[in-house]
Structure 1
Amino acid sequence: MRRVICSEFGSPLDLRIAEGPIPEPQAGEVLVEAVAVGVSFVDSLIVRGEYQVRPPLPFTPGSSVAGRVVAVGKGVEEALVGTDVATVLPAFGGYATHITVPAPLAVPLPAAVTPGTAAAVMESYLTLVFAVTHRVKITRGEQVVVLGAGGGIGQAAVDVARAAGARVIAVASTEDKRAAAEAAGAEVTLGYDNLKDEIRTATGGGADVVVDPVGGDAAESALRALGADGRYCVLGFASGRIPRLPANVVLLRNRSIVGIDWGDWSRAAGGATGNAVLLADVLARVGRGELMPGSPTIAPLADAGRTLQLIAERRAVGKYVLTP
């Protein structure tokens, strides 16, 4: 098998490829030959040692894998061999040609969902579907502002809000990112200049929900653009700066700030089993056409470092997947 190795925390460009034996599935496990592996901004943080979870070195990054079951361990039905599946690994190890995983965590792919699409949607769509099912309610007709709407998590936010019946206002830094957000279902696209006033104008007075995976300078402007009972959803800090939001602005007009940490939920309260159930729901909704993710950009496994660097520098548009 081939896998990506991170020997020390630092630049993604220092990642290397290593060869090794194909692992054997243990009792209760399946062996999956990867077809597509999701790449995320969080992966870049982990490689740089800037995430709250720091795996012991050396390690293989990645957690979202789609592929085909090629062998099963003791106690697992042989009929699973040949099944296309998607899985979120409980730890890391996804940037590889083969992975083993407990059989209950290998979710069969609906016929209409390709491995590439599954790998692309896992982390981003799981985060947003977790958000709207566990943390914040979005009702039909509400106005939802999405910051960083040209990236993978932003496009997922646009699509999930659209599917909930919301009117989506997308904020992105470049024309190509705004075009991608519009293709994902945004009705209005904005840049970051004069953001508070632009949002208030676009929403006719104030947004109902702000989805923010970016942080930085735009955060306070977006918070101030919320209307009465508005909800500000914190998903991350892709800008590299954690904002200090004024409590008086939250108090005014009964606004609220809601943390969205799907990763913590999948490791703790929901656990790997609960997360597999959530993944099955996401894939089923994609298969039925309720959620409509765009096609990912494909890169070979050997380009993992360059792809992570592109995402870390916020030059990526949409989702990327690796093909082992």
Structure 2
Amino acid sequence: MVKLIGSNHARDRPDSHGRAGQPAAQRPPRPRPGAGQILVRARAIGVSYAETQIRAGALPFPLPLPAVIGAEVAGEVVEVGEGVPGQLIGNMLVGVTGGLGAYAEYVLLPAAMACPVPDGLTPEQALAGAAPGALALALLHKAALSGGGTVLVEAGASSVGAYLVRHAKEFGAGHVIATAGTPAKRERAAELGADTVLDHNTPAGPPACRTWTWPSRRSAAHRPGRCSATSPPAPAACSTTAC
């Protein structure tokens, strides 16, 4: 997430792939909202890892160039399209575009995909939590957790993973296992409420640890992990020394 600073309707509209840190600013005409759309003067935009890879040309994406990427934005509503209440003008909203167009000073997005920035939050704070939190919430509802089972959250200190770790027990999990790749991230996952934290950079561990962490019913895509110093007591063969 970055704060957008610009003028004269600037937007990042690259006409070729390049390093993610080299945006190409252009000043096209200010867009006009269509039916069901709002026009937001951006105060903050989200920059996801996937978008940096698309921008660099490292992630295959059927995107004709030049293009304006970016899906997340927070800012002030300055114009509304047909069918959208005029009372929204002047309000601070956070939302998603549906895929493209957020790397700009003025951003079009569907009114149905935006919500008010809560009182007490800055646009940057609301943006940082909106999309990852919504995705985590959808995943927790889809999981339909019950009976106090064990949940594995890979990348448990990431934007989405952190919300999953923090709220999994509210949705019925009994034990939360998180993975992370650095000591600081493993510490963060433990602070968020993970009962067990594993190092997902370790390619293998003893059989008892693998069985406890990734039961055979799990996909082979899940790699055996390593117990970290933040792990609470686990099966005897899967201790912080054995793993």
TM-score (norm 2): 0.72
Partner of 2:19: 11
Q: 1:41 to 1:68 in 2, by over 3 A?
A: same
Asked if the contact 2:213–2:224 (Cα under 8 Å) also holds between the matched residues in 1, the reply is no
TM-score (norm 1): 0.56
Partner of 2:144: 137
- Deviation of the 1:207 alpha carbon: 5.6
Partner of 2:164: 157
Q: Deviations over 1:112-142 (max 9, x none)?
A: 55422332233323332222333x3323632
Would you say how many aligned residue pairs link Structure 1 and Structure 2?
Answer: 215
Partner of 1:220: 223
Q: 1:21 to 1:121 in 2, by over 3 A?
A: same
Partner of 1:99: 107
Q: What are the equivalent positions in structure 2 for 1:1-324 lying under 5 Å apart?
A: 1-51=9-59, 53-111=61-119, 113-134=121-142, 136-139=143-146, 141-166=148-173, 167-192=175-200, 193=202, 196-197=205-206, 200=209, 205-206=212-213, 219-221=222-224
Q: 1:211 to 1:170 in 2, by over 3 A?
A: farther
CA–CA distance in 2 between the matches of 1:63 and 1:199? 43
Give the unaligned 5+ runs of structure 1: 223-324
Partner of 1:232: none
Name the structure where helix makes up a greater proportion of residues.
1
- Deviation of the 1:39 alpha carbon: 1.9
SS of the aligned residue for 1:221 comes to coil
- Deviation of the 1:165 alpha carbon: 4.2
Give the unaligned 5+ runs of structure 2: 1-8, 226-243
Percent of counterpart pairs with the same letter?
29
CA–CA distance in 1 between the matches of 2:166 and 2:208? 19
SS of the aligned residue for 2:74 comes to strand
CA–CA distance in 1 between the matches of 2:146 and 2:125? 27
- Deviation of the 1:152 alpha carbon: 1.9
Structure with the bigger RCO (C-alpha within 8 Å, sep 6+) is 1
CA–CA distance in 2 between the matches of 1:211 and 1:62? 34
- Deviation of the 1:157 alpha carbon: 2.7
RMSD value over aligned CA atoms? 3.3
- Deviation of the 1:79 alpha carbon: 0.9
Greater Rg over alpha carbons, structure: 2
CA–CA distance in 1 between the matches of 2:45 and 2:105? 9
